[in-house]
Amino acid sequence: MKMVAMLLDITVSSAVDAVCRGAAVSDGIGRTLQVRQVKRDGSRWPEFGPGSSRAYRRHPDLRTAVDQAGARAHANGEVLIVLDQTEIRDWRTPL
């Protein structure tokens, strides 16, 4: 259920952002999304930029990871997804 909610939120937020900027909403909006991820690794929370398999930064706790990665994602117009094993813990859209 979280996956459906996250995907719907991301799609709608991206469309609303395009409308607010005066841009046309394309049919292929999902192809333009950039995703920044934070994935739990033991007691640390590494952050991965879009398309990267190497950690940008390793955070000591979840709150720090979400705050710092969220700020970077927002500044770059990216979606932030936080994972703990296979569970979606949080997500943030650029709006």
What is the pTM (predicted TM-score) of this model? 0.74
Candidates 63, 71, 68; CA nearest to 94 is: 71
What pLDDT was estimated at residue 52?
92
Cα distance between residue 42 and residue 8, in whole Å: 30
**What rounded mean pLDDT belongs to the chain?**
84
For 57-78, the pLDDT digits (tens) are 999 999 999 999 999 999 998 8
Report whether pLDDT(14) > 80: no
Q: Report the DSSP beta bridge partners of residue 48.
A: 37
Mean pLDDT is highest, among 1-5, 30-34, 49-53, for: 49-53
